[in-house]
Structure 1
Amino acid sequence: FITDILIIKLLGIRVIWTVHNLVIHDSKFVKFEFVIISFFARLCNGIIVHTSSALNEVVKHYGVSPDLVTIIPHGNYIKSYKNNISRMDARIKLDIPENEHVLLYFGRIRPYKGVDNLIETFNRIDQKHLKLIIAGKALNQDMANGIKKKCQGNQNIFPVITYIPYDEVQVYMNAADVVVLPYKNIFTSGALLLAMSFGKAIIAPSTGSIPDILGDNGGFLFDPLHPAGLKTAIENSRDSDLASMGRYNFEQAKKYDWDTIAGMTYSFYRKHTGQISGLADINSPDR
């Protein structure tokens, strides 16, 4: 990777890096990757992050000048997916009663995302009129089998451990009362913007860029290091005005429209390269 970047630089091609993660998720060689990425960051002509917290972290960890870094928000998913099914019809399709309080985990299942902890936490909660949907493809078959095993014997958990087709995303989102992001660690979350784009209240860790985007009005932030953090957040969601939180999140998501973001990105590229052609845009792997 570094050899490729050095060749690119020698050829006079300028490099812009869009940072989605400080290091690769679930990496076994964090210290080594940190050294490599720190070196790479210093070779960049410009760096894009999504929030002010992310900017501070990149400057702190990689020692780059703040002048090289700009904040361009992550775009929303409004109109990216169909969104015309009602809450009632979505629940009928998933065979979930109208009076249930439904939690949804949606997205790729990987170790750092904390789905195993979510299931364990859910099992310690009074589940009267409470349901949990886990919808998404696991990293591998062993992980899929492990998640299914943890769900066995609990009829209040609906594991859908597979890729969710485009047309079906709206079914799971609109059936849910609140989306749960039980991440152990996170820097930037596309799933957060997806849930906001569907007007959902959200439970999420108070780490990375999440507090900058979500705040206190759109859901429940918890400390992932506190043993009762996630449990308390779930319990608090049961007696809250989730509809108002969802409306707030949708209005916030509308601010992150792609036309505005495209204009900001174009301006940044022109500033740091003087042109649009003849540059390389390096995105962090595994968003």
Structure 2
Amino acid sequence: MKILYLTSPNFFDLEISYIRELSKLADVRVLLYVAPMNLKSSAFSLDSQLKKEEIIIATEYPGMEKYDGMIDRKQWFIVNDYTNFSLGSCYRLNKKMIRFMEAYNPDIVHLVGTGKQKSMLAAMMDGRRKMLLSVHDVIEHGNNESFKIQLLYKVRNFVIKKMHNILLYSYISDDILKKQLNNIPHTIYHSTLGAYDFLNSYPLISNQYGKYVLFFGRIDYYKGVDILVESYLKSNLPKQGIRLLLAGKDNVGIVKNMDNENVIILNRYIENDELANLIRNSMFAVLPYRTATQSGVTKSAFALGKPMLCTDAGNLPIEVIDGKYGKIVRADDSSHLTEGLNWMVSNTDILEVYADNIKTDWNEDGQYSWKCIAKDMIANVYEKIIENNLYGAN
């Protein structure tokens, strides 16, 4: 089976592992669409970009060599848009991607995510190939009344409506998507995400922050960081010398005026090696989301055997099973989150049990391993689309 996988840096953290395992079962080529706005995104990081509007094999792209051992750079190609998604550049590069497809002649094209570039590509493909579209998040986070969010919905829905075959990563997304699209029929498939095990490749370094609990990821309103700070300051943790560490770029000014010696703020992009050690050295990670479908944060924490305290938003309670991998508290409830923080630091023996459960179920041979996920995708998604002659676009 030949699979062409079209994606962007936003999902690089999971795709490092998924493509590795998928490549053991099929012939895979990856087209990674890179623009100035996503040079540092998820686990992906480039310091500079070539000024070429070309598709360039990753073995020849400066900065990609640091991923040797994580990806096979002979399989990965950078779709290099240095204009930041201008319409003209998207169109010209999409034409080149279509020519790449024709030369490679895949059995299926797996398109990941939506946006300007992918909406144009979906229109240009016009049913030429059997295609699958991954939709990681059916909710656009932010002010639903804003022009930007409304535009994102329109672009995303255009792409989804063009596709017959949709892959979702949580069952909670099904009803949301059907309501948004007025029950337009699609063939819906499901998969899950394994632990982001590439983080284990970074060596352990000493802890410079003492005892702390950790929030990591981009700081936005929907992630509830303001509630976490409020809950932490009301908890017993400061008195016990346990600090709160917030690691990630603040996009909305939530931590702008925070001035407390017990709250450590790393308000910037966090490189992979630093993130791995922040997780390792923490007592546990906190996910205080107001809204969610699923989260890659849990998969990063689980990769390093770290328990979670998280809210009951969206699919999170299914990922962080209460009493197995961590503790669940009510979303948007600072008092309940404070209780959760106090409970976690008072039950370190149980945290060790959670850590053992995570290591058993989320390791490379566990029930949530990428090996199992790749096998399931081949048998129950790709082969069914190919056998049933389910073309991707209307």
After TM superposition, the score normalised by the length of structure 2 is 0.59
Question: Could you tell me which residue of structure 1 aligns to residue 124 of structure 2?
Answer: 7
After TM superposition, the score normalised by the length of structure 1 is 0.79
1:111 corresponds to 2:221: yes
- Is 194-203 or 216-225 further displaced after alignment? 216-225
- Provide the C-alpha distance between the structure 2 equivalents of 1:251 and 1:274, rounded to a whole number of angstroms: 35
Question: Could you tell me which residue of structure 1 aligns to residue 326 of structure 2?
Answer: 219
- TM-aligned CA deviation for residue 172 of structure 1: 0.7
Within-5 A mapping of 1:22-101: 22-26=138-142, 28-29=146-147, 34=153, 37-38=156-157, 40-59=159-178, 61-62=180-181, 63-65=183-185, 68-82=187-201, 84-85=203-204, 90-91=206-207, 94-96=208-210, 100=211
- Provide the C-alpha distance between the structure 1 equivalents of 2:261 and 2:377, rounded to a whole number of angstroms: 47
- Provide the C-alpha distance between the structure 2 equivalents of 1:226 and 1:169, rounded to a whole number of angstroms: 27
Deviation string 1:142-180 (CA, Å, 9 cap, x unpaired) is 63xx51422x1x221111112222222222111111100
Question: Could you tell me which residue of structure 2 aligns to residue 136 of structure 1?
Answer: 248
- TM-aligned CA deviation for residue 41 of structure 1: 3.1
Equivalent position to 2:384, from 247, 271, 282: 271
1:170 corresponds to 2:257: no
1:242 corresponds to 2:351: yes
Question: Could you tell me which residue of structure 2 aligns to residue 159 of structure 1?
Answer: 265
Larger Rg belongs to: 2
- TM-aligned CA deviation for residue 190 of structure 1: 0.5
CA contact (8 A) 2:224 2:332 kept: no
Supply the AA of the counterpart residue of 1:25: H
CA contact (8 A) 2:248 2:266 kept: yes
Equivalent position to 1:125, from 235, 243, 248: 235
- Provide the C-alpha distance between the structure 2 equivalents of 1:159 and 1:179, rounded to a whole number of angstroms: 15
CA contact (8 A) 2:285 2:306 kept: yes
Deviation string 1:215-243 (CA, Å, 9 cap, x unpaired) is 11211212213342322221221222211
- TM-aligned CA deviation for residue 260 of structure 1: 2.5
Question: Could you tell me which residue of structure 1 aligns to residue 104 of structure 2?
Answer: none
Supply the AA of the counterpart residue of 2:356: R
- Provide the C-alpha distance between the structure 1 equivalents of 2:330 and 2:360, rounded to a whole number of angstroms: 26
CA contact (8 A) 2:227 2:334 kept: no
- Is 221-230 or 183-192 further displaced after alignment? 221-230
CA distance change for structure 1 residues 209 and 90 in 2, over 3 Å: closer, same or farther?
A: farther
Q: Where do 5+ consecutive residues of structure 1 fail to align? A: 281-287
Q: Secondary structure at the match of 2:346?
A: coil
Deviation string 1:82-101 (CA, Å, 9 cap, x unpaired) is 3552xxx643xx141xxx4x
Equivalent position to 2:309, from 200, 203, 218: 203
- TM-aligned CA deviation for residue 59 of structure 1: 4.1
- Provide the C-alpha distance between the structure 2 equivalents of 1:61 and 1:237, rounded to a whole number of angstroms: 38
- Provide the C-alpha distance between the structure 2 equivalents of 1:164 and 1:37, rounded to a whole number of angstroms: 28
1:20 corresponds to 2:136: yes
- Provide the C-alpha distance between the structure 1 equivalents of 2:354 and 2:151, rounded to a whole number of angstroms: 41
Deviation string 1:181-225 (CA, Å, 9 cap, x unpaired) is 111211120011111111111011212221222111211212213
How many aligned residue pairs are there? 262
- Provide the C-alpha distance between the structure 2 equivalents of 1:54 and 1:247, rounded to a whole number of angstroms: 30
